[in-house]
Amino acid sequence: MKLQHTLARSLVAVRTWPFVIDLGLACCALALFAAFVHTGEYWMGRPVPVVPISTSIWALPVYAFNSIFRIAIAYFLSLIFAVTYGYTAAYNPRIEAWMIALLDILQSIPVLSFLPPVVLAMVALIPGHQLGIEMGVILLIFTGQVWNLAFSFYSSIKTIPREMIEASRVYRFSAWQRFWQLEMPYAAIGLVWNSIVSVAGGWFALIACEMFTMGDRNFQLPGLGSYLQTATIEGNLGALFAGFAAMILIVVATDQLVWRPLIAWSDKFKFEQVEAADRVTSPILALLQRSRVFTTVPGRVWTSLEEPIYRRLSRTRECRVIQPSDDSVRGRVPPGLWVLAVALLSAAAWGGAQAVLMLHTITWPELRLLLESAVATFLRVVAALLISAAWTIPVGVAIGLTPRLARVVQPLAQVLASIPATAFFPILLIGLVKIGGGLGIGSIALMLLGTQWYILFNVIAGAMSIPSDLHEVAQIFHFTRWQRWTRLILPGIFPYLITGMVTASGGAWNASVFAEYSHLQDRTLQTIGLGAQIDAATDNGQFPILLLATILISLMVVTMNRLVWRKLYRLAETRYKLEG
């Protein structure tokens, strides 16, 4: 009788839990729909550039919701752009070098350099509605999230093993099939880990974009970024720590509800022939997999959309005839890209002419100060990169290769990485003032907060993507620790490490704006550097100085790209490409 009673209770639990999970998912969907409706009503209302910011703790939930919504929209736009841009660059050799150079420049330009043109353009395009101001801020957050995702996807496409590409060609995959069944799965691990850093970059940009001054115009939107800035300006430590605690709570919830399930899900795309003994797990993912709606509805919807596409593709020549593997076939640029290139060149020519007219107003003392600032910021960026790499490479490899350590350290690292560096800045600035220090050396410490996570998480992704059978081969041949590092680990993580270094470089340039210039109560802390010049020019509406500082950053980034990063990317695509 006891056995029957136990089996009956187990059967009831098996039947009840999926219903409870489905009910919870339905409630979440309704709440999300209501949030969309409420936000849409606010955005379609009349524009309110300056919203009074309350430092009350009770205002934090509404501010947090507004900030999360902006970051989520910016992230999905970033993901779409990154995949499109990376795919186009990887499969079009004629424009690949130009696209990667442009991407390197854009990811290194500080957010405040985009601020005036983006906000003014959005307000002019959508007049009479709050949507114009909100879209301007969302696009600025987009500029803080998109670049490392694009670099990650591009690097993954370029390092797909040749035998996998040959297999897709022999099985006559169409471009659509190859994208969904080979390229996206192979890039999944890198995209997930870079998404964590991208969202952190979104918080970084959010704090700068929700409350700013542009010449004689002020913009102040309700959100956590404006809450933290207001608390910092007022010197309200209680409100500052409350906002900081709310941000940590959001980051922890995001880590448990989003990132850990995605990491566990993406682990199945690891390229290996022998399954690893220890797999990444997530209680939330296991719970979702018990939902009938979650496991059946998306699959049926996707199948209903996918089957007609595959049926139509099966009749095309691309799927009936094995295509040649000559790179010249892939390198043909579609006519639409040529039209887009001509349009961009025309716009660049017009913008260049306007820039020359604007730069005529800059005096020699201002030019000399900008050149000195460029050298100072460049040295700080290099120092931040070297210090970051010195500790993130061994720590990232240890986390990626040691499951027990990963279970403890990985969640903590994800939480720390997801907290934006700008959230630490007010506390560090207050500490610097109390000890009588300045930003000359302290700015390097502030830059580290904006660079180290890019390298760490790319190294973790690289270490996790090393096939388990290669580790077993190293054990069979009794590799020493030096041999494991030089012949397995460093070659295995090399493509990911270069992606992390490139994106960390951009993060350092972006962090220079906050690290070299900041308002604290009634004081302005600054040191010589391009970041300080950009910030001061934005505050004072000095657009010629802002433009020239951005041009100097672009020139230095292009030089580094040609002399260092392009050669290292080529090395990663050839010598350290994983293939049989």
Reported for 517-523, long-range contacts at CB under 8 A and 24+ positions apart, including other chains, are 517/439, 518/425, 518/429, 518/439, 519/232, 519/233, 520/232, 520/233, 520/235, 520/426, 520/429, 520/430, 520/433, 521/233, 521/234, 521/235, 523/433
> Residues of the chain with pLDDT > 90: what percent?
3
CA–CA dist 251, 200 (Å, integer): 9
pLDDT at 25 over 70: no
CA–CA dist 69, 46 (Å, integer): 19
pLDDT at 96 over 70: yes
pLDDT at 54 over 60: yes
DSSP per-residue letters across 12-81: HHHHHHHHHHHHHHHHHHHHHHHHHHHHHHHHTS---SB-PPP--GGGHHHHHHHHHHHHHHHHHHHHHH
pLDDT at 148 over 60: yes
At residue 245 the predicted structure's pLDDT band, cuts being 50, 70 and 90, is confident
Q: Is residue 118 left, alpha or beta, with left meaning phi > 0 and alpha meaning psi from -120 to 50?
A: alpha
Q: Are 156 and 186 in contact (CB under 8 A)?
A: yes
The total of other beta-carbon atoms located within 10 Å of residue 553's CB is 24
Instruction: Report helix, strand or coil for 359.
Output: helix
The more confidently predicted of residues 280 and 59 is 59
The more confidently predicted of residues 418 and 82 is 82
- Whose CA is closest to 150, among 226, 249, 217, 83? 83
109-113, 190-194, 195-199, 512-516: segment of lowest average pLDDT: 109-113
141-145, 151-155, 317-321, 543-547: segment of lowest average pLDDT: 317-321
pLDDT digits 0-9 by tens, 359-400: 777 788 888 888 888 888 888 889 989 999 999 999 989 888
pLDDT score at 142: 86
CA–CA dist 113, 107 (Å, integer): 11
Which residues, including other chains, have CB under 8 Å from residue 107's CB and lie 6 or more apart? Answer: 147, 148, 151, 502, 503, 506
- Whose CA is closest to 133, among 120, 142, 145? 120
Per-residue CA distances from 393 to 126, 461, 488, 497 (Å): 46, 11, 14, 8
pLDDT digits 0-9 by tens, 441-459: 777 877 887 788 888 888 9
- Whose CA is closest to 210, among 418, 77, 49? 49
Q: Are 452 and 481 in contact (CB under 8 A)?
A: no
CA–CA dist 37, 5 (Å, integer): 48
pLDDT at 426 over 80: no
pLDDT score at 61: 87
Which residues, including other chains, have CB under 8 Å from residue 420's CB and lie 6 or more apart? Answer: 200, 201, 202, 203, 204, 206, 207, 247
Q: Tokens for 430?
A: 């207050």
Q: Are 452 and 388 in contact (CB under 8 A)?
A: yes
The more confidently predicted of residues 33 and 277 is 33
pLDDT score at 315: 62
The total of other beta-carbon atoms located within 10 Å of residue 535's CB is 26
CA–CA dist 181, 210 (Å, integer): 40
Per-residue CA distances from 184 to 155, 160, 246, 298, 423 (Å): 12, 11, 34, 18, 33
DSSP per-residue letters across 500-531: HHHHHHHHHHHHHHHHSEEEETTEEEE-SSHH
Per-residue CA distances from 374 to 509, 528, 545, 548, 551 (Å): 11, 9, 13, 11, 11
Q: Are 317 and 329 in contact (CB under 8 A)?
A: no
CA–CA dist 326, 365 (Å, integer): 55
Which residues, including other chains, have CB under 8 Å from residue 407's CB and lie 6 or more apart? Answer: none
pLDDT digits 0-9 by tens, 171-199: 778 778 888 888 898 888 888 888 887 88
Among 225-234, 487-496, 525-534, name the most confident range: 487-496
Instruction: Show the CA angle centred on residue 215, arms to residues 364 and 531, nearest 5°.
Output: 55
pTM over the 0.75 mark: no
pLDDT score at 253: 85
